[in-house]
Structure 1
């Protein structure tokens, strides 16, 4: 049974404008909807937003753990070198949580978050394959000087090209994040830059310029670390809004620069 204190808190939230009562339920403003689901509010058939929990934060947890670990290893913190000891972030921590989040975003009709979860899901899986020595992906390029073949110019040039393609894919997503909020846009802007920087690192390895490659690797790691921090910030923001609506951290919605104001959406 709700106490008088609980009723007062609900009334306070209503007065702030994030929640409005109707004769059939509760409506939330476009601003609160986008804070919770990181997607522009569009009408959907059904009531999935009421029936299921918000999966967006789950995807951010998987992304945040994987990205922050990946970044710290790239920067060599604590003498770390090589990603094979933490290969689990590429196959379990990130992809498992992102896959669950992607499926439920699809079920709930949240198009853009579903695309984002799927994008990072396949990135971690595909890049994780490179961290498994047992696959011997460099074997066709092996020489007496390089038995593993992983420093061969052709091998590293192929990875560099792959990361360039990823950079353009992420850049495409970045333009659409400008319709949501500054934090989400910053995440995609920085991870796009990181993809191009890491591509340059692989180009340097293919040319035998290992010192420059290491510097670029650390720079890319630093960018991804900032991305991970922003991801944790967004995750905290979503969780705080879910646990107690309206309260939370600012994200500065950018949609107002791209389209007209929308009416509250019934949930």
Structure 2
């Protein structure tokens, strides 16, 4: 048996480079801050460069290290350019957090093709392209890594009140996580996912405006906060989860247990 420390629970990310999408707000912003606080150099990406610059300033002010790189998840050239810019700036990423996502909030028959394309491109196509680029470079360098794909509890249930495509793409993220974990296990690249329930974010703010007080229907009468996901994220990207791959961790504050 290998000689593991007791307990085998390190979350020290010193020396890692973490590429985080959708980092300008919400969960992505918190993910970037959490990874930086654990010692990783963070590449914060999103379309809103001004917000990324503010995030990087906050991380550096707290003693961390980060760079801001503009990226449009619906544009293939932008994805590859952002990834190369990250490599040039701070080195090959060893952690990838595929967080960027958009809702559709419409019935399928009312969705314009442009919105269909945007949801597919942002929620599923871009994460797949980034995961492939991430793995391709690490395999060439004979190094392992960690991918965390952000799905949703919406991948597992849909009540018929709009946002079917969001549910479909997030279910795709679940299967993508499982399939890529099998393909890349031999290269020591772990691929896992997180499926959040209702968490405070700009996306959630929009849902609350449209649907009212959603918290009232939850077992704990609350909407969870991004910091409550820190420990799961750190576990999935840290040495402690070395044998965990192909897993989706549901974090919904009991919302799906009714």
Q: TM-score, normalised by structure 2?
A: 0.30
More helix, by proportion: 1
Q: Which has the higher contact order (CA 8 A, sep 6+)?
A: 1
Q: Report which of the two structures shows the higher radius of gyration computed on alpha carbons.
A: 1
